[in-house]
Amino acid sequence: RQDPDRRIALIGGPDERDAAAEVLSCCAPETRARIVSFAGAFDLRGSLALVSQLGLFIGNDTAVMHSAVALGVPTVSLFGPTNPRKWGNYGPCHRVLESPDGTMASLNVEDVQAAALSLLEQSLLATGSRNPV
């Protein structure tokens, strides 16, 4: 299931640079080599231009996540303290995962991975290919 051309893009504002660096530090070297951090690199318009090129977006309840949905990017939406029945985006190319206790920390990594793989496989079947980002 691993595509050596697939890249991982970290997107965030200037105040999220440290969090992006922490994510990178937790990754194995082979994973780190596939990650490009754009945290703090773009304004909202630039971030949305990047998001429009993604083959998959995984993120919490933010304007960028809702924009990914609006742009038609397959999206795994993660909900902790916010209500997915009120703010979630449902549809064939979106998966909504809700924390059982209202915290992001209790989201199950395996559930996120399964939702992401499902969307990637669905996207590949539907289009024959997607951007490797």
Please give the Cα distance from 5 to 131 (Å, whole number): 9
Please give the Cα distance from 117 to 112 (Å, whole number): 9
Percent of the chain with pLDDT over 90: 72
Residues 40-91 have pLDDT tens digits of 999 999 999 999 999 999 999 988 999 999 999 999 999 999 888 777 777 7
Predicted local confidence at residue 66, as pLDDT: 92
Residue 116 phi/psi, 5-degree rounding, is -65, -45
Rounded to two decimals, the pTM is 0.85
Amino acid sitting at position 60: N
**Measured torsion, CA atoms of residues 123, 112, 34, 23, in degrees rounded to the nearest 10:** 150
